[in-house]
Amino acid sequence: MPSRLQWVTTMAAAPSDGESTLAQTAPDGSSRQALQRLPRGKPPFPAALLLPGMALPGPTLVEGFVADIARELALRGVATLRGVGRWTLPGGPSLGALDWHGEIDDFVATWQLLGEQSWADPKRRFVVGLSLGGIAAPVVAGRVEGVQGILSWGATARPWPDYADATLRQQLGWREVPAEEIERRARLRDGWFRALAAGATDGAALFEANPGLAYIGIDAQGYLGRPTAFWQQLSSFDPVDAYAGLGCRVCAVRGECDFVCHAEDQDAIVAAARRAGLDVAAVTLAALDHLLGRASSAAESCQRGPGKAPRDLGRLARVIVAWMDGRPPEQHAF
């Protein structure tokens, strides 16, 4: 990919509903885009780079969730920038070709683009990561300059194989899947992760050796539309290690009824940040699930499915703004 200095940035689309598109092109024809949403008023504004959750093939709840958070933050005076997946652009790579390292590179590039915007206050620039983006947030902050703080929403803190085993067992139990079926799926999943931990990246070879992986949605290309290399890299990564060496504030936020990010994940992030000597805050939003839907329990949220309950986006937005301003975020969680 060409160096940042070779990219030319233009406004690709006029503001619509307060949002506009920045496009970057390079001499070799490479392109990338980012969406900016600015609040009313006079710049510079406090600004956040938004890192979304896991991208999946086709339109997803994740895209709408991040767009809605950007809108809520703009109403409260915070500007945001978020990258557009390169796999959605003409001539871009397919989603199935983008690994974990490539996704981090894209996040870093978007942070650099944020630093070039006159509307972004250089003393008030933050990274806000949602779900998988919360796992990526400290990695990005460790590779760039000028980050005043990172806030994660619904981020797990366990290595991916541990998270997948514990969480999927729990979810299947809530859905009353028979115990022997849970164990069958766990054995298939564990064998695949063991192969990845041993360095395997050839998805076709893994699938040929164990075609039963199709039973849990894994095929020769990978899983959930992402390549085998993506999962191999993510599986060998321990999220809490990324906090070592950082020099910015940290805030870990989760919903009380989140069946993806558990209280233990939040505690682990806080502990890792404290070991690194960082200023850290933790906030739990009562009666909300992973996508800020209202719920009475994690089990209810899991059984209902994502995105099927009224959402309370304002609570997370108030916490983010308070934390960015240096105010106690937990006092704005209601």
> Which carries the bigger pLDDT value, residue 262 or residue 334?
262
Q: Domain range for residue 225?
A: 160-235
Given a contact cutoff of 8 angstroms between Cβ atoms, the answer to whether 62 and 70 are in contact is no
Q: What CA dihedral angle connects 262, 267, 270 and 276, to 10 degrees?
A: -120
Verify that 145 and 191 share a domain, yes or no: no
Verify that 301 and 178 share a domain, yes or no: no
pLDDT at 81 over 60: yes
Query: Last residue of some domain: 187, 214, 235?
Result: 235
Verify that 250 and 189 share a domain, yes or no: no
Verify that 286 and 145 share a domain, yes or no: yes
Verify that 120 and 164 share a domain, yes or no: no
| Bond preceding residue 39 cis, omega within 30 of 0 | no
pLDDT at 327 over 50: yes
Mean predicted confidence (pLDDT) in 111-126: 96
> Which carries the bigger pLDDT value, residue 289 or residue 96?
289
Q: Which two three-digit tokens encode residue 301?
A: 């949220």
pLDDT at 323 over 70: yes
DSSP structure string for 256-312: TT-SSS-HHHHHHHHHHHHHTT--EEEEEETTB-TTSBB-S-HHHHHHH-TT-S-B-
Q: pLDDT band for 61, please (50, 70, 90 cuts).
A: low
pLDDT of residue 15: 47
Q: What is the pLDDT of residues 122-141, one digit of tens each?
A: 999 999 999 999 999 999 99
pLDDT of residue 332: 84
pLDDT of residue 54: 80
> Which carries the bigger pLDDT value, residue 271 or residue 236?
271
What is the chain's mean pLDDT, rounded?
88
Q: What is the pLDDT of residues 242-259, one digit of tens each?
A: 999 999 999 999 999 999
Which pTM value belongs to this model?
0.92
Verify that 106 and 18 share a domain, yes or no: yes
Verify that 147 and 267 share a domain, yes or no: yes
Among 63, 67, 46, which residue's Cα sits nearest to residue 55?
63
Q: pLDDT band for 58, please (50, 70, 90 cuts).
A: low
> Which carries the bigger pLDDT value, residue 331 or residue 129?
129
Question: Residue 181, Cβ neighbours under 10 Å: how many?
Answer: 10
Query: What percent of the chain lies above the pLDDT cut of 70?
Result: 89
pLDDT at 16 over 50: no
Q: pLDDT band for 285, please (50, 70, 90 cuts).
A: very high
Q: pLDDT band for 26, please (50, 70, 90 cuts).
A: low
Verify that 135 and 245 share a domain, yes or no: yes
CATH code: domain of residue 26: 3.40.50.1820
Could you tell me what percentage of the chain is helix, strand and coil, using 3-state DSSP and rounding each to the nearest 5?
45, 20, 35
Verify that 252 and 265 share a domain, yes or no: yes
Given a contact cutoff of 8 angstroms between Cβ atoms, the answer to whether 230 and 194 are in contact is no
Query: Last residue of some domain: 190, 219, 235?
Result: 235
Verify that 46 and 97 share a domain, yes or no: yes
Verify that 201 and 110 share a domain, yes or no: no
End-to-end Cα, the chain, rounded Å: 45
Query: Across the chain, which distance is largest between two alpha carbons, in Å?
Result: 61
Q: Are strands 120-130 and 8-16 parallel, antiparallel or unpaired?
A: unpaired
Q: What is the pLDDT of residues 153-203, one digit of tens each?
A: 999 999 989 988 888 899 899 989 999 999 999 999 999 999 998 888 899
Domain count, the chain: 2
Verify that 14 and 108 share a domain, yes or no: yes
Query: What percent of the chain lies above the pLDDT cut of 90?
Result: 65
Query: Last residue of some domain: 191, 206, 235?
Result: 235
pLDDT at 3 over 50: no
Given a contact cutoff of 8 angstroms between Cβ atoms, the answer to whether 226 and 96 are in contact is yes
